[in-house]
Amino acid sequence: KAKRGEKITVASIGGSITQGVLFNGKDRSFGKITSEWFEEKFGIEVENINAGIGSTGSLVGIHRLETDVLSKKPDLLLLEFSVNDVSAFWSDQPYREPYEAIIRRVLKENIAIIGIIFGSTDAKRHDYVTHYMDTHTATMFYYDLPIINFYTAFWRYTSNKIIKHYDLDSNGKVTEKSFTFDGGGHPSVAGHNIIGKVIAYYLQDVLTKLEN
């Protein structure tokens, strides 16, 4: 559709990371950055749907999928639910069934999906940090769908303090270059910009391979 010059809709659903808790009404989330890539690449109109709600996992997401996502008829869904997709009572029991239910329901509508995985930068406190990663990855692989794991890409380096969470100015204040704004896992505007560019890099790679 994009190559034909038609309008497309990019939706994202997940927790506070998807929502972009820093922005205070101005959406600069990774979903918005991805939408802007489509606009610039194809010169088309792109509607961006941000269906992220903080502190929610896929158990909540499956119940609002129809209203918040499918009713908007998206062409691409960025599926997150990182960190929150784990039971508060059983840390080794992630929400496998509702996560898979979201995938199956979205595929039924012929909507493309990219799975998005993050790790908490406070991984030492979140001792369950790998459980949802393994489950999300296995589920996406089962349906032969792409998944981008930002934890293995670079988030683990911030977890282990190899890369700083913050870029400070000469007065020790956090700058706009900082990757997170709370040190715990919520990307800043700069962080979302990096994440969006990685997703765009993946999409460009897909296009290049299709053209070749």
Please write the tens of the pLDDT for every residue from 101-128: 999 999 999 999 999 988 765 545 555 4
> What is the model's pTM?
0.91
Of 27, 151, 10, which Cα lies nearest the Cα of 79? 10
**Which range is least confidently modeled, 28-32, 116-120, 138-142?**
116-120
Cα(32)–Cα(130) distance, rounded to whole angstroms? 27
Residue 86 predicted with pLDDT over 90: no
Q: Which ranges constitute the DSSP H helices of the chain?
A: 16-19, 30-42, 58-68, 96-108, 131-142, 150, 156-159, 189-211
Residue 199 predicted with pLDDT over 80: yes
